[in-house]
């Protein structure tokens, strides 16, 4: 049984283990192979301008404005003259007569308004004007005569609103449409380009609705009142310039806010300037020509690529608004109007000019123009740089890989904390950029991407851990008790997978006269015998926390204190050996009954057990195709020789000095030193007697008698026979009778 156990091994980890560790790492890498795909999808999402991505970003950017709206100050040179519900009640329902609007215009000019801009479209003749009334009369000679009389008197030539517009710095509204372009379409302002033509990137419209010819000729400016809300119908950006028409006839049309600003400074700098990314040295994705700046007079206005101004809203401010009826009644202070840009519009809910902004679900359209003008003149800034999506994408990729690295290298709690700090740091950086620099950086898509990277990496690590646990369960379930297998699976770090040197207690057991027994059995009977023997023996090993190394025919090899530390492993091994010996009668009784039932002779079952405690090398050994968790070393050889010596000593259990010294819970009988096969020096041998708690005074007395016999045999004393007679008289000597017989016959020579 012990053949081949004398070979030694190198102390370096077996090459097999190095191969296995590399394979494990590669398998774990495969488990994370989904990460590049996931990161790629997240990068594509981050770079896209899909409605879903934009809406996600809006959530954060809108909340930033709610937390920190633009500060409004009464000195801002923008006011709204409001056609509110009270004004309608006092003056009459809308539309008001043009004469009343002309009166309002002149009063504002009299108060010193710098510009008067109308968020109202005057595209139709007044229904109650003299010319309109005549046009509605039947075509009879009397109508023609009346028209000639009125025309001769000059009553058809006068238009109070036209005259008021001509006398003031006034700006009228145009409405942009997707219908045909009127033949007479033109605007008051021209744009100077610095860089390539950005018209293709501007908000496009096919046509527009103009004020009446007489009115637009009298006004100093024409500006579009069009809004371009985002997908959720919230107005976050106000275009300062639009592209209207098709082909070479396209016009660049200013917004009402931009045109009002131009007219307010027309005496000094009449021509707005459009500056593109080529002129400023900025990069446009795909070589696109994008607007980066609109200069109107003394104001340099940073805009987005399509010419839109991202407005930092202040929200509804009572000091910004003046009721129209108060102006007409002369109940306003001159300082509220003098030198300011005055926007005239309807805030009455009945006129349905209501919009949504990041701060408020319902505001008047004229307020949005006012907010845009206030944003410009207060030199506020709120922008999302052209490079922002690409910088965010780079951050997603680089920091995502960093998170994966952290998760794979660090313990779960530190990696979770590190990921939380990274995501929180991204959010803090985004808020800092908004609150201190007025730059919009998206924290949500990168943060979600980093969280996804963390989850994917954690799942990968979990899968790797589960594979390691599965490997441990597969590798050790054959050797260890289920509870110990689960302990190792829960913490595989307890294993030194490359092998290690450990102090263990080793057990070898063997069946006496197995050759004679096998001659009476066929092959199937031998298998049944071995299974009937090894099953209860293995149960005793596993119950005591041992590891089954291998079965060698009728023999069993087990050890304690590997792969896990087993405190008092020598005691456990001794306990197991006694339990195995005690189980033999039960096993033998079953085998005897079976032999009798089958009609063949029964050979009584006897086993011998050797125990030794010493240093060995433990690890998985074999080949890449097949390996076993086993131990090698001189201590293994000594254990095998002790088991073989049980035949010579006629005792069931023999132990070494190492086991005797380590097993403090048991008592032993010194059998002297003997020469073991393959050993050049004598080896002290002991018989395992039993638990110390059961020994008592009888064992002490018996030990003295036993040692006297050994001394007499060593010295060949004349009273040797008397010593033998004395020890045989003791009640504990019965179990050692075969040993004493061999000792008396000089078949055993203790040294």
**What are the structural domains, with CATH classification, of the chain?**
25-65+385-468 (no CATH), 71-377 (no CATH), 477-694 (3.30.70.1230), 695-751 (no CATH)
Most confident of 137-146, 384-393, 436-445: 436-445
Q: Is 311 helix (H, G, I), strand (E, B) or coil?
A: coil
Give the model's confidence band at 103: pLDDT under 50 very low, under 70 low, under 90 confident, else very high.
Answer: very high
Measured CA to CA in angstroms, residue 585 lies from 138, 156, 579 at distances of 133, 134, 11
Residue 110 CB contacts under 8 Å (≥ 6 apart), including other chains: none
84 or 599, greater pLDDT: 84
The CB density around residue 683, as the number of other CB atoms within 10 Å, is 19
pLDDT at residue 49 above 80? Answer: no
Q: What is the DSSP letter of 624?
A: S
Compute the average pLDDT of residues 677-687. Answer: 88
What residues form DSSP beta bridges with 547?
559
Q: Encode pLDDT of 523-576 as tens digits.
A: 888 888 999 999 999 999 989 989 888 888 889 999 999 888 889 999 999 999
Most confident of 402-406, 514-518, 684-688, 746-750: 684-688
Give the model's confidence band at 110: pLDDT under 50 very low, under 70 low, under 90 confident, else very high.
Answer: very high
pLDDT at residue 4 above 60? Answer: no
Helices (H), 84-228: 85-91, 98-110, 130-135, 141-153, 160-167, 213-218
Q: What is the pLDDT of residue 623?
A: 63
Give the model's confidence band at 10: pLDDT under 50 very low, under 70 low, under 90 confident, else very high.
Answer: very low
The alpha carbon dihedral of 625, 626, 627, 632 has a sign of negative
Tokens linked to 672: 């002297």
Tokens linked to 495: 């294993």
What residues form DSSP beta bridges with 255?
224
Phi and psi, residue 185, nearest 5°: -65, 125
Phi and psi, residue 631, nearest 5°: -130, 150
pLDDT at residue 672 above 80? Answer: yes
C-alpha–C-alpha distance, residues 432 and 721, integer Å: 101
Which of 456, 448, 453, 454 is CA-nearest to residue 57? 448
Q: What is the pLDDT of residue 530?
A: 92
Q: What is the pLDDT of residue 7?
A: 34
Compute the average pLDDT of residues 287-299. Answer: 86
Q: What is the pLDDT of residue 725?
A: 92
Largest CA distance in the chain: 173
pLDDT at residue 6 above 80? Answer: no
Tokens linked to 139: 């075509």
C-alpha–C-alpha distance, residues 554 and 526, integer Å: 9
204 or 460, greater pLDDT: 204
Q: Encode pLDDT of 183-213 as tens digits.
A: 777 888 888 888 888 888 899 998 899 998 8
681 HSE (CA, 13 A, CB side): 2
Is-contact 620 629, C-beta < 8 A? yes
Q: What is the pLDDT of residue 23?
A: 42
Q: What is the pLDDT of residue 326?
A: 94
Our measurement of the distance from residue 410's CA atom to the centroid of its chain's CA atoms, rounded to an integer in Å, reads: 15
The alpha carbon dihedral of 430, 433, 435, 439 has a sign of negative
Our measurement of the distance from residue 363's CA atom to the centroid of its chain's CA atoms, rounded to an integer in Å, reads: 40
Query: By mean pLDDT, which of 166-175, 312-321, 397-406 is the weakest?
Result: 397-406
Q: What is the pLDDT of residue 13?
A: 42
C-alpha–C-alpha distance, residues 389 and 46, integer Å: 7
Q: Encode pLDDT of 397-412 as tens digits.
A: 889 889 888 988 888 8
Q: What is the DSSP letter of 358?
A: S
Strand residue runs (E) in 397-446 = none
Give the model's confidence band at 148: pLDDT under 50 very low, under 70 low, under 90 confident, else very high.
Answer: low
Model pTM score: 0.61
Peptide bond into 563 cis (omega under 30): yes
Compute the average pLDDT of residues 281-297. Answer: 76
Q: What is the pLDDT of residue 463?
A: 75
Which of 315, 290, 421, 416 is CA-nearest to residue 374? 315
């Amino acid at each position: 049984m012990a053949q081949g156990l004398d070979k030694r091994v190198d102390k370096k980890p077996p090459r097999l283990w190095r191969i296995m560790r590399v394979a494990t790492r590669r398998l774990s890498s495969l488990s994370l192979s989904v990460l590049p795909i996931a990161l790629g999808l997240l990068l594509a999402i981050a770079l896209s301008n899909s409605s879903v991505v934009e809406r996600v970003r809006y959530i954060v950017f809108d909340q930033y404005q709610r937390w920190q709206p633009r500060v409004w100050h009464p000195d801002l040179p923008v006011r709204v003259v409001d056609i509110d519900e009270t004004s309608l009640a006092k003056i009459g329902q809308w539309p008001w007569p043009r004469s009343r609007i002309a009166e309002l215009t002149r009063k504002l000019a009299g108060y010193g308004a710098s510009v008067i801009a109308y968020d109202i479209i005057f595209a139709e003749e007044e229904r109650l004007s003299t010319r309109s009334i005549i046009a509605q009369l039947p075509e009879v000679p009397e109508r023609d005569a009346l028209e000639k009389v009125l025309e001769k008197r000059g009553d058809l030539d006068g238009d109070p609103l036209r005259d008021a517009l001509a006398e003031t710095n006034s700006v009228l509204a145009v409405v942009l449409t997707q219908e045909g372009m009127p033949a007479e379409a033109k605007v008051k302002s021209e744009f100077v380009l610095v860089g390539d033509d950005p018209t293709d990137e501007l908000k496009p419209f096919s046509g527009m609705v103009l004020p009446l010819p007489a009115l637009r000729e009298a006004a100093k400016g024409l500006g579009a009142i069009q809004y371009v809300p985002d997908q959720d119908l919230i107005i976050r950006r106000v275009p300062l310039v639009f592209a209207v028409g098709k082909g070479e006839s396209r016009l660049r049309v200013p917004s009402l806010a931009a045109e009002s600003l131009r007219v307010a400074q027309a005496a000094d700098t009449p021509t707005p300037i459009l500056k593109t990314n080529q002129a400023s040295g900025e990069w446009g994705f795909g070589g696109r020509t994008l607007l980066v700046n609109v200069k109107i007079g003394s104001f340099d206005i940073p805009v987005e690529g399509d010419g839109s101004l991202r407005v930092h809203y202040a929200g509804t401010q009572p000091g910004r608004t003046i009721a129209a009826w108060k102006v007409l009644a002369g109940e306003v202070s001159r300082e509220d109007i003098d030198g300011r840009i005055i926007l005239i519009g309807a805030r009455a809910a009945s006129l349905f000019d209501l919009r949504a902004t990041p701060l408020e679900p319902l505001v008047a359209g004229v307020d949005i123009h006012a907010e845009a003008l206030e944003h410009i003149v207060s030199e506020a800034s709120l922008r999302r740089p052209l490079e922002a999506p690409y910088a965010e994408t780079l951050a997603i990729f680089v920091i995502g890989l960093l998170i994966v690295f952290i998760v794979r290298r660090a313990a779960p709690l530190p990696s979770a904390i590190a990921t939380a700090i990274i995501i929180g740091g991204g959010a803090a950086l985004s808020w800092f950029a908004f609150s201190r620099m007025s730059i919009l950086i998206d924290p949500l898509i990168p943060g979600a991407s980093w969280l996804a990277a963390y989850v994917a990496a954690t799942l990968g690590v979990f899968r790797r851990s589960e594979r390691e646990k599965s490997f441990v369960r597969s590798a050790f379930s054959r050797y260890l008790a289920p509870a110990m297998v689960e302990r190792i699976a829960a913490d595989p770090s307890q294993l030194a997978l490359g092998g290690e040197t450990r102090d263990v207690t080793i057990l070898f057991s063997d069946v006496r006269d197995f050759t004679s027994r096998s001659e009476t059995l066929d092959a199937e009977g031998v298998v049944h015998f071995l299974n009937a023997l090894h099953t209860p023996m293995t149960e005793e090993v596993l119950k005591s926390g041992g590891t089954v190394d291998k079965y060698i025919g009728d023999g069993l090899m087990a050890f304690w204190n590997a792969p896990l530390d087993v405190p008092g492993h020598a005691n456990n091994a001794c306990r197991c050996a006694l339990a195995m010996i005690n189980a033999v009668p039960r096993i033998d009784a079953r085998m005897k009954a079976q032999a009798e039932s089958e009609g063949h002779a029964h050979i009584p079952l006897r086993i011998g057990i050797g125990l030794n405690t010493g240093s060995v090398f433990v690890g998985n050994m074999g080949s890449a195709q097949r390996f076993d968790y086993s131990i090698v070393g001189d201590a293994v050889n000594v254990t095998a020789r002790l088991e073989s010596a049980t035949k010579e000593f006629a005792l069931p259990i023999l132990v070494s000095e190492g086991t005797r010294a380590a097993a403090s819970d048991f008592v032993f009988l010194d059998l002297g030193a003997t020469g073991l096969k393959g050993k050049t020096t004598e080896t002290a041998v002991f018989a395992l007697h039993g638990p110390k708690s059961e020994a008592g005074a009888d064992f002490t007395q018996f030990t003295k008698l036993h040692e006297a016999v050994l001394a007499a045999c060593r010295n060949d004393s004349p009273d040797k026979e008397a010593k033998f007679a004395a020890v045989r008289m003791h009640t504990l000597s019965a179990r050692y009778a075969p040993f004493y017989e061999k000792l008396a016959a000089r078949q055993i020579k203790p040294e």
